[in-house]
Amino acid sequence: MTPSRPKIYFIRHGETDWNLEGRLQGQKDIPLNDVGRVQAEEAARKLQGLVPHVEDLAYVASPMIRTRETMEILRKTLGLHPESYRLDERLVELTFGVWEGMTWKEVRKAEPALAALREQDKWHYAPPGGGESYAMLVDRIRPILDDLTRDTVIVAHGGVARAFLSICCGVSSRQAASMDIWQGRVLVIEGRNYRWA
């Protein structure tokens, strides 16, 4: 019998102004807005309700401003030292290449043929200008799972959550590519199962 993988408490960063405007952030370093800061506190309270001893968890975040800020608000709300967590470069969001900063409406207007290609196969399509596909992101994320030694809080991005759902829970690439990844909530990944809290 194979040992079970540690439980993952995945938290997407709180809202940014670009989220609000529907802009593709990718690897652009955009800070949280006021709503995003409140969402980080909400996620902390949900986590507290799930785990009696939050101090026993490992904490890892993407190194981007919006994820670090979410993690630090979360830890402060939990009564933990805000900056005592680990950063992992592999958790950065996938890049949308030259499309970063644009809305999907702007992408469809500027490059209708390429936008249509992505719509046909969101999982495998890599945007122009060095963009990444979800399939490429999965290859980057998979080794992180081998590094987990105990139940872990991961603060990262929507695309990263979709990659985890595909790898850990067997969610189909078509379904994972289109799933809503909520802000201010906790995605609990336990074995092959997941649920939102």
**Catalytic residue ranges:** 13, 93
Question: Do 46 and 187 contact (CB within 8 A), yes or no?
Answer: no
Distance, CA of 148 to CA of 136 (rounded, Å): 21
DSSP conformational letter for 32: B
The amino acid at residue 81 is: H
Token pair for 36: 């995003």
How many residues make up the chain in this entry? 197
Question: Do 181 and 127 contact (CB within 8 A), yes or no?
Answer: no
Distance, CA of 32 to CA of 170 (rounded, Å): 31
Distance, CA of 64 to CA of 47 (rounded, Å): 21
Residues 6+ apart with CB under 8 A from 175: none
Distance, CA of 171 to CA of 177 (rounded, Å): 9
Distance, CA of 154 to CA of 86 (rounded, Å): 10
DSSP conformational letter for 13: P
